[in-house]
Amino acid sequence: ELKNLVERTLLVCGKQQLTADDFKAQYHPASTTSVTENLQGLTLEELEKRTIMQALEAHGNNLSQVALSLGISRAALYRRLEKYGISFND
């Protein structure tokens, strides 16, 4: 649970240094059930595609920031964009 909180906070905030307020903003223990219910029936690929699309939106289509926030290289991000047919505006 802690690992997920840290990863989610890093992904959403996109900052090099996080503060306690960043973690507080991402910690929603009551919403865990609803998040799990929303993910039911999704394949791993669908979940990955959604995550990439959310990261693109969160970082204004800045591919360097998206790749960094997802913990993958830009080349890996390009492969996934192609794989899922995700287009973006520079």
* pLDDT (0 to 100) of residue 18: 85
Q: What confidence category does residue 25 fall into, taking pLDDT thresholds of 50, 70 and 90?
A: confident
Say yes or no to pLDDT of 42 above 60.
yes
35 and 69 assigned to the same domain: no
Do 60 and 22 have their domain in common?
no
Based on the fold, state whether residues 62 and 87 are members of the same structural domain: yes
In the block, tokens 């993958």 appear at 72
* Average pLDDT of span 15-33: 74
pLDDT of residue 83: 95
- Tell me what pLDDT residue 33 has: 47
Distance CA 30, CA 3 (A): 18
Q: Quick one: 72 and 86 in the same domain?
A: yes
Q: What is the pLDDT of residue 24?
A: 83
Does the structure show a pLDDT above 60 at 90? Answer: no
Q: Do 55 and 16 belong together in one domain?
A: no
Q: What residue type is 66 in one-letter code?
A: V
The answer on 31 and 7 residing in a single domain is yes
Q: Residue 61 sits in which domain range?
A: 43-90
